[in-house]
Amino acid sequence: MTTDRLVEFDEVTTRYEPVIGLETHVELGTASKMFCGCSTTFGAEPNTQTCPVCLGLPGSLPVANEAAVAATIQIGLALGSEIAPWCRFARKNYFYPDIPKGFQTSQYDEPLCVGGHLDVEVDGETYRVEIERVHLEEDTGKNLHVGGATGRIHGADHSLVDYNRAGIPLVEIVTRPVPGAGARAPEVARAYVTELREIVQALGVSDVRMEQGSLRCDVNISLNPAGAAEWGTRTETKNVNSLRSVERAVRYEMRRQAARLDDGGRIVQETRHFHEDTGSTSAGRSKEEATDYRYFPEPDLVPIAADADWIAGLKAGLPELPAARRSRLQQEWGISGNEMTWLANAGALGLVEETVAAGASPTDARKWWLGDLARRANEAGSELAELAVTPAQVAELAGLIAEGTINDKLARQVLDRVLAGEGDPAKVVEAQGLAVLGESDELVAAVEAAIAGAPDVVAKVQSGKVQALGALVGAVMKTTRGKADAATVRRMLEERVHTS
Ligand code: ADP
Ligand code: MG
Ligand code: ZN
C-alpha cells in the first residue's frame, strides 16, 4: 500500500470546499428474508438458513416480504419522502461468489421512496441533508477468505461462502450531494449517520448494530476549489462500519484529495476501502473498470402499488421521532440544548427519562446518571445502560435522599451495594443500618462527647470564631460514620455551645 501525502486538515478548507454524499444500508429486522421464508437470525451455522429462492436455484420464484415493504415506507415517511404510488424491483446483474443468483434484486429507476431530508446539528449549527431516495433490495452472502499455514486446502489459500445473509432485506438510503459543510464535513457526515441510525432504531425496524453490519455506510466525498461553479470528482469509501469511522474516512479523504489536487493531480472516481487501524483509505475499483450492471425490471415479481390507506396507517403509527423527543424532553426538564446533546451523546436519554418516570426529579435523575454513574461506567469501561442498576433503583435512591433517610454520602455507599447486587436501595439501607440519624439519643451523645472533648474549640466559638464550629461538626460526623445529617448536627451544636 502506498503512503499518501496528506494536507493538514485545517488547511484543506482554506483552498477547497468539500461535498459529501452518504449511501447507508440498513438490514431490516424482519423474521424472514426479502423474497423467501428463510430465517434471518444472526450467527447461525453457515448455510443453514437457505432455500432454493435465496440460493437462486432454477425454477424457484420470489415473493416480496410485506413487512419489509412496510418498514421501508416507514423509514421514508420518517425522512419526509414521497412514497411512490407504484414501483418495481430490478435486477442488478454482476457475478460474485457471494451473490448466488448472478444478480441482486434491487430497485433502480423506480424506488419506493423519493426525496425528503434530515436536519442535523453540529456545534449549534443546523445542516440540512437532502435525501435522494430510499429503496429496498436484498443483502448478499458473506465471503470468508482463509489462508496462511492453517487455512490452506491442497496448499492454496481459499474462500468459503455463507449464504445465510443472502436475501435479507436491505434498505438503502441515498443522500443528495451535501455542499456547504466546510471544515465541519466530517462531523456533519457522522451526525447524519448518527441521527439516521436513531430514527431507524426508534422505528424498531432494525437492530442497527454497525459492528455486526446491520447498518453500514458508503461515504462519498469530493473537493472543489473554493468558489468553483462545479463540484469535483468523488471517491466512494465502502462499507464503513462505525460512526467514528465515518468521520475519520471523510477527514482522511479530504486531506488526501487536497494533497493530490495541490500537486496538480486529478481525483479518479473510484471506490476505496477504509482501514480502521490506520484511519486511512486505499484504492478499490475505479469507475472506468466498473461493471455495467445491465439493470432491467425483475420479471418474477409483481410491481408494488402501496395503497394510500395503508400508507396513511403506517404514517399514523409512526412513533415519536428522536428530534421531536429531544426537544420535548428538553422543555420538560428545563435544560439547555447543549445539555441535551450531552445527555444524548452519553446514551443517557432513555435512562434519565425512565428514572423521571419512576418518580425522581429531572435534576436528580441527571445528577446521578451523568455524575456518579457515568464515572463508574467510565471506570468499568462499559456503557451506562450496562451498569447493574435500574432507573427505578436510581429513583428510589433519590427518593431516600429527598425524604432525609440518607444523605448524599450514604447514598454513594448504598449505590455501591446496589451495584454489587445486594438489592434495592431501601433494602440496603435497612440491612446495613445506613439511615441518617435523627435527633436520637445516639446523636445527642455524640454531640455532647464532641463538646466535652474539645473545650478549646468551644471557647473559640464562644469568643466569636464561628468557623471553629466546623471542627466539632467533623468530629460528630466521624463518630457517627457519616450517618448524621450535617445541618442537624450543626444546629444541635450551636444550641449547646451558646448556652453552655
Ligand atoms: P453509485 O451507485 O455510483 O454510488 P448513487 O447515486 O447510488 O451512485 O450514490 C452516489 C452518492 O454520491 C450519493 O449520495 C450522491 O449524493 C453522492 N455524490 C454525487 N456526486 C458527488 C460529488 N461530486 N461529491 C460528493 N458526493 C457526491
Ligand atoms: Mg454507491
Ligand atoms: Zn431462502
Q: pLDDT at position 151, please?
A: 66
The C-alpha cell at 205 is 425496524
Q: How far is 21 from 437, CA to CA, in rounded Å?
A: 63
The C-alpha cell at 211 is 459492528
What proportion of the chain, given as a percentage, has pLDDT over 90?
73
Ligand 1 proximity of 22 Cβ (cutoff 6 Å): yes
Q: How far is 209 from 196, CA to CA, in rounded Å?
A: 13
Across the range 68-87, mean pLDDT stands at: 98
Using one digit for the tens of pLDDT, what is the confidence trace for 279-332? 999 999 877 666 789 999 999 999 999 999 999 999 999 999 999 999 999 999
How many CA atoms within 13 Å lie on the side-chain side of 447? 23
Ligand 1 proximity of 133 Cβ (cutoff 6 Å): no
Ligand 1 proximity of 53 Cβ (cutoff 6 Å): no
The continuous run of DSSP H or E covering 451 comes out as helix 441-453
Closest by CA position to 418, among listed 461, 457, 372: 372
What class does CATH assign to 441-497?
mainly alpha
Q: How far is 481 from 466, CA to CA, in rounded Å?
A: 24
pTM over 0.85: no
Q: At what angle do helices 486-499 and 441-453 cross, to 10 degrees?
A: 50
Using one digit for the tens of pLDDT, what is the confidence trace for 191-200? 999 999 999 9
Ligand 1 proximity of 134 Cβ (cutoff 6 Å): no
**Could you say which ligand is closest to the alpha carbon of residue 220?**
1
How many CA atoms within 13 Å lie on the side-chain side of 81? 27
Check residue 123 and give left, alpha or beta (phi > 0: left; psi -120 to 50: alpha).
left
Q: How far is 239 from 213, CA to CA, in rounded Å?
A: 8
Residue with the bigger pLDDT between 290 and 214: it is 214
Per-domain residue ranges of the chain: 9-313, 321-432, 441-497
Q: pLDDT at position 359, please?
A: 95
Ligand 1 proximity of 220 Cβ (cutoff 6 Å): yes
To test the pocket of ligand 1, the residue of 22, 174, 219 to mutate (highest count of ligand atoms within 8 Å of its CB) is 174
3-class secondary-structure state, position 155: coil
**Could you say which ligand is closest to the alpha carbon of residue 50?**
3
Which value, to the nearest 10 degrees, does the dihedral of the CA atoms of residues 97, 99, 103, 109 take?
-130
Does the pLDDT value for residue 156 go beyond 80?
A: no
Q: Which amino acid is at 453?
A: G
**Could you say which ligand is closest to the alpha carbon of residue 48?**
3
Min mean pLDDT across 106-120, 177-191, 473-487 is at 473-487
Partners of residue 136 on adjacent β-strands: 171
The continuous run of DSSP H or E covering 12 comes out as helix 9-15
